[in-house]
């Protein structure tokens, strides 16, 4: 994972600098982040997130944390008065956008994935949607997720992945030629979207990320490809 933990776009940086630059990326795009996601995915990211929520199966009495939950769109889909749903994110500007939307029954917590401000064995379900590749030390983040989950608790990760071969050339062309231009036009932050595209390219493929989750101590790890592998949901469980 050193390639990812010390990279920012096409540049090699140390871990501290990477973390600071990523914070600045999300400060720059916070107000238009959800709109950009709609444009970049043609709205399909909303269907992927609904699939994630269905697999998470939020239920009464549960404690659920949406890690890197940003503006709270996934948390809002899981929230209800009979459960505790919390967005935990390191970007206050991103959460401020979500808080302004008044999502009902959603709590907000400032924190990083590598040092979750939560007690051990206190959470039933941890979800993360398009956030794990922005974590600097993914191994540490997975260890922290395992720590805060109750025995038998589940981790669900939705992330961009490696598309199947017939789709890959078209996807790469769209990613590297179109997305940064959209970032410049809509979000007025082309550098941010160059980083986001490059971070997708450097992220481990489906099987490699499954192996990382298993190495962290999760069991019954499986994944489901979405849209020909453009995105993927990994699911793992803390041993009982």
Per-residue pLDDT tens digits for 53-97? 999 999 999 999 999 999 999 999 999 999 999 999 999 999 999
Write down the pLDDT at residue 193. Answer: 66
SS3 string, 27-60, reads HHHHHHHHHHHHHHHCCHHHHHHHHHHHHHCCCC
| Residues of the chain with confidence (pLDDT) below 50 | 1-2
Annotated domain spans of the chain: 2-237
Coil vs helix vs strand at 105: coil
pLDDT of residue 12: 65
> Residue 161 has which token pair?
């992945």
pLDDT of the residue at 4: 59
What's the pLDDT at 8? 52
Round to whole Å and give the CA distance between 58 and 88.
17
What pLDDT does residue 43 have? 84
| CATH code of the region 2-237 | 3.40.50.150
């Amino acid at each position: 994972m050193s390639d990812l933990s010390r990279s920012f776009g096409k540049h090699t940086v140390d871990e501290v600098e990477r973390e600071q630059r990523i914070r600045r990326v999300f400060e720059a795009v916070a107000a238009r982040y959800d709109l950009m996601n709609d444009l970049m995915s043609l709205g399909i990211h909303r269907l992927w997130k609904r699939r994630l929520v269905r697999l998470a199966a939020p239920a009464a009495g549960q404690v659920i944390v949406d890690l890197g939950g940003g503006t709270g769109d996934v948390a809002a889909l899981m929230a209800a008065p009979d459960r505790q749903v919390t967005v935990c994110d390191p970007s206050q500007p991103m959460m401020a956008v979500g808080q302004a939307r008044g999502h009902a029954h959603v709590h907000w917590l400032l924190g990083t994935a590598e040092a979750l401000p939560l007690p051990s064995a206190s959470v039933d379900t941890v979800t993360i949607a398009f956030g794990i590749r922005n974590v600097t030390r993914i191994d540490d983040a997975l260890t922290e997720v395992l720590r805060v989950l109750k025995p038998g608790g589940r981790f669900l990760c939705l992330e961009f992945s490696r598309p199947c071969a017939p789709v890959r050339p078209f996807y790469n062309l769209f990613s590297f030629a179109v997305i940064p231009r959209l970032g410049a036009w809509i979000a007025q932050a082309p550098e941010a979207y160059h980083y986001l595209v490059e971070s997708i390219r450097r992220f481990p493929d489906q099987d490699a990320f499954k192996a990382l989750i298993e190495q962290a101590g999760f069991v019954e790890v499986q994944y489901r490809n979405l849209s020909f592998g453009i995105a993927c949901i990994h699911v793992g469980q803390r041993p009982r």
